[in-house]
Chain A
Amino acid sequence: MTSVRDAATDCLGATTPLSLRRDVFGVYGDNNRTRSLRDQLDLILNRPFVRLALVTVRPAGSALGQYVNLQRDLDAANEVWQSDLGAWIYCTGVATVASDVLGGNGVLNQPGCPLGIQAAPTAEEDALFDIGRGLGADLVGYYIAGSTNPNLAGCSAYPAGRRGFWVRFNATQWTLAHELTHVVGLTPHVPNMPATNSDNLMWPSTVGWTKLPPDLNAAQSVGILNDPGIEQC
């Protein structure tokens, strides 16, 4: 039987000394729930996964630390992915950055949000998506105060070669999963009709889901699992 140490080092590339919480479970925050080592070992050994790093971006001088709901959102994303894809999300690391890269209020200058590559990123997008590239994942998610359009909960457009997305502080717990899934497999929205599409994670509004946790369908699964960022032990 494979040991936890071997699974973490061989399958995830973790290095000793190992932290069970971080290197094996990929847990970096508080979200009161029981975690089974047996189940986690099964995921590591047998299930496809994507590596994700998460960065909280605060204005320069801010004393606020990591986004308080980071682990809640990560657990929610794992709930959807494990249930509907049989895949999981391995958080390789987190960082909290206090910087004036987004001015004094943390609002990103981002005129548009296409699915996938942002062909002409603004200087702020360029600077933001440079952060967190040494955290062990090709894909980086950013928690920020928002973007130019004050109503957006998140966006999955990224400069070429730096895959990632941002989520607004205090967005719903499924928003990280929604934006992440836009990036992995370049999964588009489901159409507004039929109305039952509002059960799907990729429903266009990140506050309008009608069944929780939201779903992913078989066609979406194929696209996501064929993404080059998906690994398996």
Chain B
Amino acid sequence: MPLSRELRSQLDSTCAHSIEQLIADCSADERAQLVEVIADPRAPDRRVDTAIHVVGRLAETDSVSAIAGRLRGMDERRLINAIAALGSIGNSRAETVVLRYRRNRSADVRRFVAGALAGFPGPRSRQALSDMASDDDVDFVRECAVQALRRG
């Protein structure tokens, strides 16, 4: 399914309200196109990142495999976006992917892992958050884990 011109324009916007509009009006066809963008190895990183953000906000469960396939090689900023999206999607497959990053060497990635794990109600995430809250060697990561446990 080719990417429509309007959807491409919205994905390439740098202003948040354009993306909010896309989320508010997103059709089933556009959701499918977003997943295709994420899976497309030729798609520009910026467009992929915004597509990941949008499917996360839409809790589009069909996108988890495509997101998981893009994580390798992402820099810290892009990884944070993807982890936040997976946390918003909130299903078991997304949880498994997020849990892989709980010991990432970047404290900021771990900070967002803690936030994402709040979206998964099961015992695996709660145990991981408890471990992060007590064992992580960075203050703000431990604090995020504590906050996530309170929200979960």
- Given the interface pairs A123-B147, A146-B77, A150-B78, the reply to whether A111 lies near B16 with Cβ below 8 Å is no
Of B78, B115, B138, most buried by chain A (CB within 10 Å of CB) is B115
| Cα distance, A148 to B81, chains bound together (Å) | 5
Task: For the complex, give the distance between the alpha carbons of A207 and B15 in Å.
Answer: 9
Q: Which residues of chain A are within 8 angstroms of B70 by Cβ–Cβ distance?
A: none
Judge whether B111 is part of the interface by a CB distance below 8 angstroms: yes
Contact of B46 among A123, A148, A151, A192 (CB under 8 A): A151
Contact B15 A205 (CB under 8 A): yes
Contacts of B15 in A (CB 8 A): 152-154, 178, 189, 204-206
A152-B81 CB under 8 A given contacts A109-B112, A109-B115, A192-B6: no
The CA of A155 and the CA of B15, in the complex, are separated in Å by: 7
CB of B12 closer than 8 Å to a CB of A? yes
Total interface residues on A, CB under 8 Å, equals 34
CB-CB under 8 A from A188, the residues of chain B are 17
Cβ–Cβ contact B14 & A148, under 8 A: no
Contact with A along B79-105 (1 / 0, CB 8 A): 011001000100000000000000000
Whether A152 contacts B14 by the Cβ 8 Å rule is: yes
Stretch at the interface among A18-26, A38-46, A100-108: A100-108
**Max count, chain B CB within 10 A of own CB: residue among A112, A115, A146, A151:** A151
Assess A150 versus B147: contact at CB under 8 Å? Given A155-B16, A204-B15, A205-B18. Answer: no
Q: Could you say which of A105, A114, A123, A205 contacts B13, with CB atoms under 8 Å apart? A: A205
- Residues of chain B at interface, number, CB under 8 A: 36
Residue of A nearest to B150 (CB): A123
Q: How many A-B contacts at CB < 8 Å in the complex? A: 95
Query: Are A107 and B17 neighbours in the complex by a CB distance under 8 Å?
Result: no
With both chains docked as a complex, state the minimum distance between the C-beta of A183 and any C-beta of chain B, in angstroms: 12
A87 at the interface (CB under 8 A from B): no
Q: Could you tell me which residues of chain A, from 136 to 166, have a CB within 8 Å of some CB in chain B?
A: 146, 148-157
Q: Is the CB of A149 within 8 A of B12?
A: no
When chains A and B are docked, how far (Å) is the Cα of A207 from the Cα of B14? 7
CB within 8 Å for A107 and B108 given contacts A149-B49, A152-B14, A205-B14 = yes
Q: Which residues of B contact A123 (CB under 8 A)?
A: 147
CB nearest neighbor in A for B141: A103
Q: Does B9 contact A (CB under 8 A)?
A: yes
Determine how close the nearest CB of chain A comes to the CB of B90; give it in whole angstroms: 12
**From residue B150, how far is it (CB to closest CB) to chain A in Å?**
10
Contact mask B114-152 → A, CB, 8 Å, 1/0? Answer: 010000000000000000000000111000100100000
**Cβ of A114 and Cβ of B46 under 8 Å apart?**
no
For the complex formed, measure the closest distance between the CB of A190 and the CB atoms of chain B, giving whole angstroms. 11
Closest residue to A105 on the B side, CB-wise? B108
Q: Bound complex: CA of A115 vs CA of B21, how far in Å? A: 10
Closest chain A CB from B120 CB (angstroms): 16
**Complex CA–CA separation, A158 to B14 (angstroms):** 18
A residues with CB within 8 A of B: 100, 103-105, 107, 109, 111-115, 122-123, 146, 148-157, 171, 178, 182, 188-189, 192, 204-207
Interface residues of B (CB under 8 A from A): 6, 9-10, 12-21, 23, 46, 49-50, 53, 57, 76-78, 80-81, 84, 88, 107-108, 111-112, 115, 138-140, 144, 147
Q: Which 6 A-B pairs have the closest CB atoms?
A: A113-B16, A204-B18, A153-B14, A149-B53, A150-B77, A105-B108
